[in-house]
Amino acid sequence: MSTSIAQFDARQLKCPAFSLPVRRFLNELPNGKLAHIVTEEPRAHARMKHICSVYGWKLKNHVEGDLHHFIVDKHSAESVQNV
């Protein structure tokens, strides 16, 4: 059984407009899902780290040139804090 990965293309979003659509996308995904987010925003790593730490999700980051790839693992959402 393979796990599908939800995709979110955030290449056109710049901070501060980056955080809200990404957070909404992730919150709408069911727990147990993986998400791949791609962006050109150089400050995205700090924003993604914060979002994932608040919700208890695991974050992996990979940079290819100007593109930042994030894999968010919602399997680890043990305790969700209200923000």
CA distance 47 to 44: 5
| H or E segment and range at residue 47 | helix 44-55
49 Ramachandran zone, left/alpha/beta (phi>0; psi -120 to 50): alpha
For 5-76, give the CATH class: alpha beta
Q: What is the pTM of this model?
A: 0.80
The domains of the chain are located at: 5-76
Predicted confidence at residue 23, as pLDDT, reads 92
Predicted confidence at residue 19, as pLDDT, reads 87
Write out pLDDT tens, residues 9-66: 999 888 778 889 999 999 999 988 999 999 998 888 899 999 999 999 999 988 888 8
Helix 19-28 × helix 44-55 angle, to 10°: 40
pLDDT category at 2 given cuts 50, 70, 90 is: low
Is residue 23 within 8 A of residue 51, CB to CB? The reply is: yes
Predicted confidence at residue 83, as pLDDT, reads 36
